[in-house]
């Protein structure tokens, strides 16, 4: 019988992260759950012994604490097998109206925080695990394909994470046995919706409620009931199944909206390449 896997999960307090914690434990695996406030998982730590579940405080914008959390995980379980890179939040705002400070802070979590978690995971998989290897599941978004108006900086951070992830995949030595997948969820119903932040409407957009960002704003606060029908518990099942694949995909769009976005993006790129290919006919140095 295979040994239980050890999961390292960021953003484990609620939503997708918490559901993956619960599901991995239910399947017999061990979990290192990281979150800003470990007290939010007291019900689970009361249910499972420390030989199965440990929680560590972690703010992914604090790079040294990421290293510390991985070192603690290794000290406790001797290895880490699967990392769910999940910490995140979003802000509703016109792109033009997003304060730069708020945008940078969001990138610190969604991009730099995720990058630093990925870097530490790779170090542990290669330099600590015996046998070497491991899986990283980077939680991206369907917005990385086509940005949702009103959340464009969030989409931009996820798109940047996708490019970075593909770069890591291209550079890693296959001998290290490290597999990375971008999970691109669509509309899953989580507490992230209710915990969102909202910036004031940009003055230039105030007088016209038919503008796209104003229509998006008008969907709140009922958007959870009217649009978000993805089940986080079923997301957790898929994430677990993905972690078991010998040859996982680089990308996994998950939800009908994510699949539609992926198809539209792909069709758009192919159409552009076909329709405008002649513009590249004579742009080369001639010997």
What is the 8-class DSSP label of residue 211?
S
Q: Which of 140, 141, 243, 261 is catalytic?
A: 140
Q: Which of 5, 13, 19, 158 is catalytic?
A: 158
Whether the Cβ atoms of residue 213 and residue 149 lie closer than 8 Å to each other: yes
Q: At what angle do helices 114-123 and 63-77 cross, to 10 degrees?
A: 40
Annotated catalytic residue 287: no
3-state SS assignment for residue 135: strand
Whether the Cβ atoms of residue 132 and residue 126 lie closer than 8 Å to each other: yes
Q: Which of 23, 90, 154, 240 is catalytic?
A: 154
Which strands sit side by side in the sheet containing 30-35, from one edge to the other? 53-57, 30-35, 6-9, 82-85, 134-139, 178-185, 251-254
Contacts of 113 (CB under 8 A, 6+ apart): 10, 60, 61, 66, 87
Annotated catalytic residue 220: no
CA within 13 Å, CB half, 194: 7
Interatomic CA distance for residues 123 and 117, integer angstroms: 10
Interatomic CA distance for residues 133 and 180, integer angstroms: 11
Interatomic CA distance for residues 121 and 119, integer angstroms: 5
Annotated catalytic residue 205: no
What is the 8-class DSSP label of residue 251?
E
Q: Which residues are catalytic?
A: 140, 154, 158
């Amino acid at each position: 019988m295979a040994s239980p896997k050890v999961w390292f999960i960021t953003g484990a307090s609620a939503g997708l992260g918490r559901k993956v914690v619960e599901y991995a434990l239910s399947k017999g695996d061990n979990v290192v759950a990281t979150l800003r406030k470990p007290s939010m998982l007291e019900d689970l730590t009361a249910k499972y012994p420390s030989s199965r579940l440990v929680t560590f405080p972690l703010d992914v914008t604090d790079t040294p604490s990421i290293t510390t959390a991985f070192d603690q995980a290794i000290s406790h379980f001797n290895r880490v097998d699967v990392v769910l890179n999940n910490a995140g939040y979003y802000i509703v705002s016109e792109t033009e109206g997003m304060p730069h400070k708020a945008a940078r802070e969001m990138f610190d979590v969604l991009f730099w925080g995720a990058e630093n978690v990925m870097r530490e995971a790779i170090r542990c998989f290669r330099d600590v695990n015996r046998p070497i290897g491991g899986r990283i599941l980077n939680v991206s978004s369907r917005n990385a394909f086509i940005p949702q108006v009103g959340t464009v900086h969030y989409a931009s951070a996820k798109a940047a994470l996708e490019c970075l992830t593909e770069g890591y995949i291209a550079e890693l030595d296959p001998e290290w046995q490290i597999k990375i997948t971008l999970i691109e969820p669509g509309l899953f119903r989580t507490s992230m919706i209710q915990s969102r932040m909202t910036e004031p409407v940009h003055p230039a957009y105030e007088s016209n409620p038919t503008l796209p960002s104003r229509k998006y704003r008008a969907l709140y606060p009922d958007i959870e009931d009217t649009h978000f029908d993805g089940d986080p518990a079923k997301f957790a099942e898929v994430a677990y199944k993905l972690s078991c694949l010998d040859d996982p995909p680089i990308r996994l769009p998950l939800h009908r909206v994510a699949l539609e976005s992926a198809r539209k993006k792909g069709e758009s790129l192919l159409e552009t390449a076909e329709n405008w290919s002649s513009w590249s006919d004579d742009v080369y140095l001639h010997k």
